[in-house]
Amino acid sequence: MKKKERGLRELYESDPEKADATVWGRKASPLSRRGFLKKSGLAAITLAVGAHIPFFGKMPAGLIPVALAESPQNFEIEGKDGLRVLNDRPLNAETPPTLLNDSITPVNRHFVRNNGLVPGSAYDDNTKDWTLTIDGEVHQPKILTLDQLKQFKHYSYALQIECGGNGRAGYQPPAKGNQWTFGAVGCAQYTGVRMKDVLREVGLKDTAIYTGYYGSDIHLSGDPEKVTISRGTPIAKAMDNHTLIVWEMNGKPLPALHGFPARVVTPGWPASTSIKWLKRIFVRDRVHDGPKMTGQAYRTPKYPVPPGTHVPDEDMQIIESLPVKSLITHPQSRMTVTKDQSFLVRGHAWAGDRSVQDMHVSHDFGATWIRANLKDPINPYAWQDWEVNLKFAVKGYYEVWARATDSQGTMQPMVVPGWNPKGYLNNAMHRIAINVT
């Protein structure tokens, strides 16, 4: 048997539930047809295909039986309502804009982006075996238990995180990877400790310039030696008051899919720097070079390139603060309204390390703009709610376009911005259609 299959196969034999959770990303067959695939392992798959499977032992871990895959229903993830699953292994799911209407994103509406498999430990309720190692360019390397981590002062903030690839689907020629449209973004309330307090406690050496975070998720190959993703930030961003190590999301322990028992939250930067299932903070004397820090991952060309260009690695730079962006979360696109009837348009806007200063909408394809009522963020790095009333006197087809302007005066582009090989940073305006009758 190939090495990559061994780890999971053994887990399937010793603990099928945990193995299923690892493969599918949730307890007891996380990915199910609504109300159908409730049980896990052999029994569940047998039930799903409706027959005994003589070669079950040879089925690759994580395979969706074609009989099930062909079913017209969409996959559902337990604990997530209405999310669009882009990939089941690893699990990636985005939220349709209208389900992001809340100021604080409920857990069941928060997108999920995994590069590997959820570690089985994320489904163990106990945290006594969890430790966080802090080493590298520090005076006093430490290994903290969760209780010790909780000794630092607690902070609770609403923080927006967005996948650097959100909007990738807008690029032509298409970039490889999950075809995120609008919903790989969320703003939940996180509780934890400040990264800066922890780093101060271990004492940064003068040589410390970057963090390297490691999680305990499992590489898709099943090889325990392989790391799926290890990213970090310059020390200055790690020392930001709002960069946290958190154990709570919306007042409850972090869900398994979001990094139980603890994760980093680096708001405003590609969410790939918000490492889940955190186990190690490796303070570096150079720009961190873990998996997905180098090459083409989470990096964009240093200069504009024509669509489709191959850009050499040395001409790519790491994405830092994300650009200004907004979303219309109400109404749903293609809604019908009655002529002369006023209706509310609302959504959120955010701008990486900056704040949003102004929000406008247009209903005449950008010819004129109406200022929306924009709220201040609940705290720095929370997204900002906005709303505006619209009314149309003439029947027909309209589009509502939303455009945010950040604190430096930078606006969202009307069209998809600079093409880049991996399809990052698409902050084009969100548009919806309205039918007036």
Ligand X SMILES: Nc1nc2c(c(=O)[nH]1)N[C@H]1C(S)=C(S)[C@@H](COP(=O)(O)O)O[C@H]1N2
Choice between 111 and 247, CB closer to ligand X: 111
CB of 370 to ligand X, least distance (A): 32
CB of 27 to ligand X, least distance (A): 16
Strand-pairing partners, residue 53, are: none
Judged by beta carbon distances under 5 to 8 A according to partner kind, the member of Mo ion, ligand X, none in contact with residue 217 is ligand X
189 binds Mo ion (CB under 5 A): no
Choice between 274 and 362, CB closer to ligand X: 274
**Looking at 163, 187, 235, 324, which residue binds Mo ion (CB under 5 A)?**
163
Choice between 25 and 331, CB closer to Mo ion: 25
Judged by beta carbon distances under 5 to 8 A according to partner kind, the member of ligand X, Mo ion, none in contact with residue 276 is ligand X
CB of 265 to ligand X, least distance (A): 9
Phi, psi at 282, each rounded to 5°: -105, 110
Interface with Mo ion by CB under 5 A: which range of 104-112, 156-164, 301-309, 372-380? 156-164
272 binds Mo ion (CB under 5 A): yes
**Looking at 26, 113, 284, 422, which residue binds Mo ion (CB under 5 A)?**
113
CB of 418 to ligand X, least distance (A): 21
Choice between 137 and 162, CB closer to Mo ion: 162
194 binds Mo ion (CB under 5 A): no
Question: How many chain residues are in contact with Mo ion, going by CB under 5 A?
Answer: 4
168 binds Mo ion (CB under 5 A): no
The binding site for ligand X (CB under 6 A) comprises 110-116, 163, 215, 217, 228-229, 258, 271-272, 274-277
Choice between 176 and 334, CB closer to ligand X: 176
Q: List residues near Mo ion by CB under 5 A.
A: 113, 163, 271-272
